[in-house]
């Protein structure tokens, strides 16, 4: 399913900004970053503090990835941050 999602999002080296709104442990975010190269950015949101902690560890030093604590239903508030 991971490859299907990356393909459906049309992730390419041309770049783009992607939202992973139920990021979990970051599998889809990692695949997007890998497929997109240096011009891709991923903004991730999850409501689980443990997931946020794991994501910060997994993507430490990755400038193209930013994670926010919040709920999918509150994406407008999260986006303002």
Look up the pTM and report it.
0.85
The predicted structure's pLDDT at residue 71: 85
Condensed to tens digits (0 to 9), the pLDDT of residues 11-60 reads 877 789 999 998 999 999 999 999 988 999 999 999 999 999 999 999 99
Cα gap 24→37, rounded to integer Å: 22
Cα gap 12→31, rounded to integer Å: 11
Tell me which DSSP letter residue 54 carries: H
Q: How many CB atoms lie within 10 A of CB 64?
A: 19
Cα gap 55→60, rounded to integer Å: 8
Choose between 49 and 70: higher pLDDT. 49
* pLDDT over threshold 90, residue 77: no
Q: In what helix (H) or strand (E) does residue 52 lie, and over which residues does it extend?
A: helix 49-58
């Amino acid at each position: 399913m991971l490859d299907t999602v990356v393909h459906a999002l049309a992730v390419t080296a041309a770049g783009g900004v992607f939202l992973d709104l139920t990021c979990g442990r970051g599998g889809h975010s990692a695949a997007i970053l890998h497929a997109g190269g240096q011009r891709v950015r991923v903004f991730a949101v999850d409501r689980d503090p443990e997931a946020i902690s794991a994501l910060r560890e997994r993507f430490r030093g990755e400038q193209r990835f930013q994670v926010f604590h919040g709920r999918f239903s509150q994406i407008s508030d999260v986006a303002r941050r």
